Structure 1
């Protein structure tokens, strides 16, 4: 077991053929806007039915579901914090999202996982800060992980640049960048 390899992907997380994709969900887990709505639509109605049984999720926590119609085996739903200026524990809650996703992935024996930039959509977390927290947290909690590949998925070239900067800041020899 070694440190997983980080990859930056610009594209649609729903097309990723990995063990798990992460859904930046709302606390109901019943779908919504942004990546949450896209994942629910792509996975099909069985995902919504399954998520109803999960009875929601707290901010900073994560829950697992099958991937249904997605190429990914599973979806790890996590609820990121809404940005309120940075003085309401947002950084710790965001870091907790990434830690909990890794814990669930490792418990399932997953080798690959794809993350969106959690809380960077309608939850308005500043992109630079959010990606720095994400990469630092992922590096801290995976030094001896069975995970082999962590994909940082960007919805735009601007977000891909934030992921790249965060990886470079965490380690000059960090991950590769691939187009989807």
Structure 2
């Protein structure tokens, strides 16, 4: 698994933003400024859709006030699904979405897992990345959103600033 001090790998991805979908690399998206990246097992899946993404949307202003330049969500889904999820969640403009269709980024970060019936997915996690280097990583060790939720990330950012 990726560890503190490791650079973000350079993996080809599709980026979904308010301005559209583009081909780019993970290090280009995550490599500048302070970025919060949270990964979910799947767009529209119950916990991801009802608990994880909404927490980041509700706390976007607080995260930015704590020094976050960009909030990014990654999932092993195709760009069409990620765009539909972003639109359905009213998240475009507040969150950027990485479509890691083949799970290459998830595997490169060591945050991949086979979920029964869903295939290879990202594990539920959140990271604080500073200028392309992992500062902190929070991986859920049980179902639900606790360690990787927006409130936990806010607390980590505030503790680092103190």
TM (normalized to structure 2)? 0.32
Which one has a bigger Cα radius of gyration? 1
TM-score, normalization by structure 1: 0.29
Structure with greater helix percent: 1
